[in-house]
Amino acid sequence: MNDINESWGWVVSQVLNSLGVFETNPGGFSGEWAGSGKAQRVVSPIHGEVLATVVNVTPQEFDGILVKCHQAFASWKLVPAPKRGEVVKEIGDALRRNKAALAELITLEMGKTLREGLGEVQEMIDICDLAVGLSRQLYGLTMPSERRMHRLQEQWHPLGVVGVITAFNFPVAVWSWNTALALVCGDTVLWKPSSRTPLTAIACTKIAEKVLLEFGFDPAICSLAIGKGSDIGDLINTDPRVALVSYTGSVPGGRHVGKLVQERFGRHILELGGNGAVIVSDKADLDIAVPSIYFGAIGTSGQRCTTTRRIIVHESIAEAFKTRLLELYSRTAIGDPRDGKNLMGPLVDAVAVNTMLDAIETVKAQGGKILCGGEKLPAAGACYVTPCIAEVIGNLPIVKEETFAPLLYFMTYKTIEEAIALQNGVPQGLSSAIITNDQRESELFLSAAGSDCGIANVNTGTSGAEIGGAFGGEKETGGGRESGSDAWKAYMRRQTSVINFSGQVELAQGIILEL
Ligand code: UN1
């Protein structure tokens, strides 16, 4: 631990410089780097030390960036999709080469453990691979026409500029899920990262810039505008030149974005709050249940939207399960996230720590009982807490809120129907799971009478969604889908065509035209 701290300054500058991030960095890019707005110092939650400075873009600079990103679309959309796929392939390879450094920068900037940082970059590489294959599979359908010698078909065309607004917790993966798909779909991307994680955004934009230049394409295809949500974010939300806004963030944030984008009839993909629950059946294998729930709850220090926030345990095994989980919690290694022995790093900032502590007070006031954890650790300038489990009866008001921290609610049930009702009884609908060896129970959980979430797992936890599936959820989670399956369709314009090769006029719906 000491060695890590002593070499801090040197390591930081090595990592930053290897990714083209310097002491002071302009926060805007659309072929050229610019930024003359407010300068912000980026502080690491590990020690509270300054990593670098970023100069935000002004509204005028933003406009110049959007103009170039929009212009770049005019030629990019005409590049054959498989050629666009080659560019994404090269971005994926550049990420492979830079995996270690980028993972370290993620860890330095937002505090997740290095192993999770590496996992995040792996997700970026994986989505690039998926998008490369997709670039030859942007299929449209051909349907039988109701008219003789007519053909009915649909095609998928590029959409335009995609505004990608991302959160601190997956500072780069979310950009890649959107960008890899958007690029093969023929769209250009304008990224506004979280103000808390601008350095990783600069590093990724530089990777994309280099690849685009190597291929002779306009680097404004991957543009960047760093600034506050209330100015730069809202310029993205309100500008009709941005065809699609993909927003990852809080429920109030998504409500705001949704209204602004809808007002101008733009499109949006909303990836908002989660409140993941795991049902632990009396037929569960506890060797699967305990570690899956543990990682789901403490991974990324509870700051994933897929984090396990609630466990709903059959009353007959509640005590045995609780004992085992508490034992694991009691030996959670918490500390510098670059140190491989630690499973939990800091929360992202002091605000997050206070939000967790406030929520714990509220749980107690609402009748909950703290089983373990929930204390702030005395590390200088840092934001370390012990993970907390609170026993509650049902979904108390505070349980229905997403507290973005390692705060896990423990509740019991008698019947599977009651468990499913508890699982569904919150406003969010992102991720859920059941641990059971009973096939009837798992099928019920996956049926229309089961989980109402976008993700419903069996015998694995709520987090760690694979990029091959569509990612997103229902209710206050916002309804958006990104990543795999057919999520690419949201990034394209569908066009339906009828082609008449009969040499005659024939109207649809059997209408006879008598002239
Ligand atoms: C998020 O927390 O915003 O499923 C996304 C997971 C990751 C994605 C989380 N693949 O945990």
Place of tokens 């449209």: 140
3-state secondary structure of 269: strand
Name residue 222's amino acid: C
| Residue 200 alpha carbon to ligand 1 centre in Å | 17
What DSSP designation does 470 have? E
pLDDT value at residue 145: 98
Cα(42)–Cα(19) distance, integer angstroms: 16
Ligand 1, atom 6: closest residue by C-alpha: 464
pLDDT value at residue 2: 39
Q: Active site residue: 209, 271, 402, 441, which one?
A: 271
Place of tokens 């993620």: 106
| Residue 510 alpha carbon to ligand 1 centre in Å | 51
Residues facing residue 25 across a β-bridge: 54
CATH number assigned to the domain with residue range 276-467, chosen from the 4 options 3.30.420.40, 3.40.309.10, 3.90.1150.50, 3.40.50.300: 3.40.309.10
Alpha carbons within 13 angstroms on the beta-carbon side of residue 425 total 16
Please indicate whether the domains covering 8-271+485-494 and 276-467 agree at the CATH topology level.
no
pLDDT value at residue 382: 78
| Residue 121 alpha carbon to ligand 1 centre in Å | 12
> Which atom of ligand 1 sits closest to the CA of residue 248?
3
> Which atom of ligand 1 sits closest to the CA of residue 463?
11
Ligand 1: residue of 301, 463, 467, 481 to mutate (most ligand atoms within 8 A of CB) is: 463
pLDDT value at residue 441: 98
Residues 126, 132, 134, 136: what is their CA dihedral angle, to the nearest 10 degrees? Answer: -160
Tell the burial category of 408 from Cβ atoms under 10 Å away from its Cβ (0-12, 13-18, 19+).
buried
β-strand pairing of 222-225 with 28-29: antiparallel
Cα(291)–Cα(271) distance, integer angstroms: 27
Place of tokens 């499973």: 343
**pLDDT in single tens digits along all 515 residues of the chain:** 334 555 778 888 899 999 999 999 999 999 999 999 999 999 999 989 999 999 999 999 999 999 999 999 999 999 999 999 999 999 999 999 999 999 999 999 999 999 999 999 999 999 999 999 999 999 999 999 999 999 999 999 999 999 999 999 999 999 999 999 999 999 999 999 999 999 999 999 999 999 999 999 999 999 999 999 999 999 999 999 999 999 999 999 999 999 999 999 999 999 999 999 999 999 999 999 999 999 999 999 999 999 999 999 999 999 999 999 999 999 999 999 999 999 999 999 999 999 999 999 999 999 999 999 999 998 777 799 999 999 999 999 999 999 999 999 999 999 999 999 999 999 999 999 999 999 999 999 999 999 999 999 999 999 999 999 999 999 999 999 999 999 999 999 999 999 999 999 999 999 999 99
Q: Is 305 a catalytic residue?
A: yes
Place of tokens 């349907």: 143
3-state secondary structure of 478: coil
CATH 3.30.420.40 applies to domain 8-271+485-494: no
> Which atom of ligand 1 sits closest to the CA of residue 467?
10
β-strand pairing of 308-314 with 407-413: parallel
3-state secondary structure of 20: coil
Q: Is 271 a catalytic residue?
A: yes
Nearest to 506 by CA among 145, 148, 142, 152: 148
Cα(470)–Cα(480) distance, integer angstroms: 9
Pocket of ligand 1 (CB under 6 A): 123, 169-170, 248, 304-306, 463-465
Helical residues (DSSP H) of 32-141, grouped into ranges = 59-76, 81-97, 99-110, 114-134
**Residue 456 CA from chain centroid, whole number:** 17
pLDDT value at residue 4: 54
Orientation of helix 198-214 relative to helix 99-110, angle to 10°: 150
Q: 414: which residues sit within 8 A by CB, 6+ positions away? A: 314, 315
Tell the burial category of 356 from Cβ atoms under 10 Å away from its Cβ (0-12, 13-18, 19+).
buried
| Residue 307 alpha carbon to ligand 1 centre in Å | 8
Contact yes or no for 159/492 (Cβ under 8 A): yes
For the chain, the domains span 8-271+485-494, 276-467
3-state secondary structure of 380: coil
Q: List % helix, strand, coil for the chain (3-state, nearest 5).
A: 40, 20, 35
Measured between alpha carbons, how far is residue 129 from residues 106, 180, 265, 409 in Å? 21, 9, 32, 37
pLDDT value at residue 1: 38
Q: What distance separates the 2 farthest-apart alpha carbons in the chain?
A: 92
89-111 residues labelled b (16+ CB within 10 A) or e (exposed): bbbbebbeebbebbbbbbbbbbb
* Degrees, nearest 5: CA angle 54-103-310: 100
